A = this chain, B = another copy of it.
Amino acid sequence: NLPGQPPVNFKQFSGYIPVDDAQQRFLFYYFVEAESDSSSKPLVLWFNGGPGCSSVGEGAFVEHGPFKPKGDVLIKNDYSWNKVANMLYLETPIGVGFSYSLDMSSYTSANDDLTARDNFVFLQKWFEKYPEYKNRDFYITGESYGGHYIPQLATLILKSKSGINLKGIAIGNPLLEFDNDFNARGQYLWSHGLISDDTYDLFNKVCNYSTIRRQDNFEAITPKCADVAVQASKEISAFINSYDITLDVCLSTVFSQSQVLDRNPNPEVKVDVCVEEETAKYLNRKDVQAALKARLVNVNEWTPCSSILQYQLADMEQPMTPVLASVIKSGIRVFIYSGDQDSVIPLTNTRLLVNGLAKQLGLATTLPYGAWFTHKQVAGWTQVYGDVLHFATIRGASHEAPYTQPRRSLTLFKAFLSGKPLPRIHEEDQNTGIVIPIF
């Protein structure tokens, strides 16, 4: 049990798995069994992105875990994903959250290949520790830079003949192709009112977002690109959450705004804008760390994104579409979704990328683009190709979709696990012809 939590009927586990023979490198996990009938429910692994951000701090405590920290206590999350699955949150790579290495050089050698291998070793050893899950239906989910981690880990699993029963992968607002995904940003900001026509022009003619990002990764921003970036950020202002442009920001921490979100289109769902700060406070409590059997090694505090990790940023540019294509060819279900209020990895180019992938694989549209529903409201739009490749938006959702649209995200997660398309409950009413605006 965690300090301050309400009583629950399911079990939680956490701890470390060593991922090398020298017992120097340890990955931390937080495992939450399903609320009921855990033995009949699938096992789902979750990755946050970054590279270098925490699946426990973000995925579990901010997005879809069973609890959200508030002051001294944990509040039950009504839309927790452990309602339908056994959820395994992994802090990866080494250096993220409570994961650590005794060999400091691990922090500078981090890259996609090593991360995928560590994650695979973790998984094999984790199944040794929890053998009842070994043959369970298994899914890998995550978001953002998870667009790299997930297809790469899936590929290792598929190649390994390890007996891991991988059924599907789902990735939200994924980074899959560097130029494609980052360049959508200029257009997104312009079409949503955050930058001027002039600045949009600069992105198109002088320096685009992927160039800025690339230069920043290598600490080599040219004056030309710096000027464009500064002009854009002045226009956007420092008080906008790029990960959800319609939300207010947590006023106590304007500069950690990127992950503190507030929005409430569903009156019955109340989002705490400052939950990320609450999580950082909670996970830095000594009693919480003791209950989690978590240690802080080489760092003074738990942070949502690692301050010690030096990831090989060139890996951001590795194209993931071919990796995804090969996963799909293995018969694995692939679900790509987009919180539609995110300006960082906007829905527009993710949708184009999925379209292109379907075309390349010769997958015909098996469900045409159209609205999907939850609780009788439009929850987003979706399209399915060859019954195997799903694209979906989540309406009103941020980069971290389950945080800002928890109910819609849970519906999407259920559909993903079921292998069925997202619900189109009002389908029969949709042929009402053109809705010509009266205005």
Residues of chain A having any CB pair with chain B under 8 Å: 49-50, 52-53, 144-145, 173, 175, 187-188, 190-199, 212-213, 216, 226, 229-230, 232-240, 242-243, 246-249, 251, 254-255, 258, 262-267, 270, 305, 338, 340-341, 344-345, 347-348, 351-352, 355, 368-371, 373, 376-378, 380-381, 383, 393, 395-396, 399, 426, 429-439
Contact = CB atoms under 8 A, between A and B. Distances in A.
A270 B266 CA distance: 11
23 contacts: A50-B438, A50-B439, A145-B439, A175-B439, A191-B192, A191-B348, A193-B393, A196-B369, A216-B434, A216-B436, A233-B432, A234-B368, A234-B431, A235-B368, A235-B371, A237-B378, A238-B432, A240-B378, A242-B437, A246-B396, A255-B432, A264-B267, A345-B439
Given A265-B247, A265-B262, A265-B263, A380 B193 contact: yes
A343 B101 CA distance: 52
B233 A371 contact: no
A363 to B, nearest CB: 15
Report copies per complex.
2
Contacts of A213: 436
B198 A369 contact: yes
A393 B246 CA distance: 12
A176 to B, nearest CB: 13
Nearest to A437: B344
A95 to B, nearest CB: 14
Given A175-B439, A226-B434, 16 more contacts: A188-B191, A193-B340, A213-B436, A234-B430, A236-B435, A237-B370, A237-B426, A239-B373, A239-B426, A239-B429, A242-B435, A243-B437, A246-B265, A248-B265, A251-B376, A344-B437
A193 B395 contact: yes
Contacts of A52: 438
A195 B437 CA distance: 17
Contacts of A145: 439
A157 to B, nearest CB: 25
Nearest to A264: B264
A346 to B, nearest CB: 8
A227 B378 CA distance: 23
B430 A238 contact: yes
B53 A233 contact: no
Contacts of A383: 196
A263 B377 CA distance: 13
A13 B216 CA distance: 62
Given A243-B437, A246-B246, A429-B254, A237 B197 contact: no
A338 B193 CA distance: 9
